[in-house]
Chain A
Amino acid sequence: MATKTRPGARIKLNSVSLDAEDYKRIAKKHEPSRSVFSNCARAFLVGGVICTIGQAIQEFFKAVFDMSEREAANPTVAVLIIISIILTSMGVYDKIAQWAGAGSAVPVTGFANSMCSSALESRSEGLVLGVGANMFKLAGSVIVFGVVAAFVIGIIYAIFGIQGGHS
């Protein structure tokens, strides 16, 4: 259970239990500000490694199950999501995220991490009102804006009769 703290109240991080988002926010406020350059270097490194792992998984599916590039994309994403959710459940992903910033947030693993940590945090409120209602608390905005953008673009394609390279 997250303890309610007054804004600006002094708290000891190791004695008060917080949910991951609170913790991240507070930790950010207290840690010495890092240079933009080193943040970017970390994001580049971790993001690159995650994508390289993704590529390795994709090559695995292509080699073992004889899939095409396109067929292998879906299982690859699914495997990355499972890995991310396991790491989130163990509390490891949030530690990586603190170090890596956008490097662990931008890949699809960050999307899964946001859903899983919302689900875990709200478990105490019950399965329906907690897990069910809050799972998309952070990921929802991504889906909403993605779908609306896709709809608008789809309509533009339809109106102008564009025959793009989509197959």
Chain B
Amino acid sequence: MIFLWAFLIGGAFCVVGQLMFDVGKLTPAHTMSTLVVVGAVLDGLGWYEPLVKFAGAGASVPITSFGNSLVHGAVTELHRDGWIGVITGIFDVTSAGISSAIIFSFLAALVVRPKG
């Protein structure tokens, strides 16, 4: 069942992105930035976590979950360490995504012969 919801919710996020491309005439960079901020605000309101529980990867794979994780790290460390946690916690949860993207992109650039 979780697979069905992952498919439907994940697809729905992508449709929102596609509508921003086609109807909103936004560039991909504007669309992605907006979706990240939307994800951050949703987590700020406390609505994103229930969505992840409900849809699994359907909510944790789209880029909105990046905004969600940034807020999550900041707020978690805020509660644990006080004010400074807002700064130190932001990349707490997202480190896996950003670090692996940097590392493997770099390796790819070393190994792969540029096309064209």
Chain A residues near B (Cβ < 8 Å): 1-2, 17-19, 36, 39-40, 42-52, 54-59, 69, 73-78, 80-82, 85-86, 88-89, 91, 101-103, 105-112, 114-116, 118-121, 123-124, 127, 131, 135, 138-139, 141-147, 149-151, 153-158, 163-167
- Bin chain B's interface residue count: 35 or more
Q: Which of A46, A78, A144, A154 contacts B97 (CB 8 A)?
A: A78
Q: Are B109 and A47 in contact (CB under 8 A)?
A: no
Do residues B61 and A112 form an inter-chain contact, with CB atoms below 8 A? no
Inter-subunit contact A52/B32 (CB<8 Å): no
Report whether over half of chain B's contact residues are helix, strand or loop; otherwise say mixed.
Answer: helix
**Chain A interface helix/strand/loop/mixed:** helix
B24-44: which have CB < 8 Å to A? 28-29, 31-37, 39-41, 43-44
CA A82 – CA B100 in complex, angstroms? 8
- A29, chain B: closest CB distance, angstroms: 14
Residues A51 and B21 in contact, CB atoms below 8 Å apart? no
A76 to B57, CA, bound (A): 9
Alpha-carbon distance between A18 and B41 when the two chains are bound, in angstroms: 38
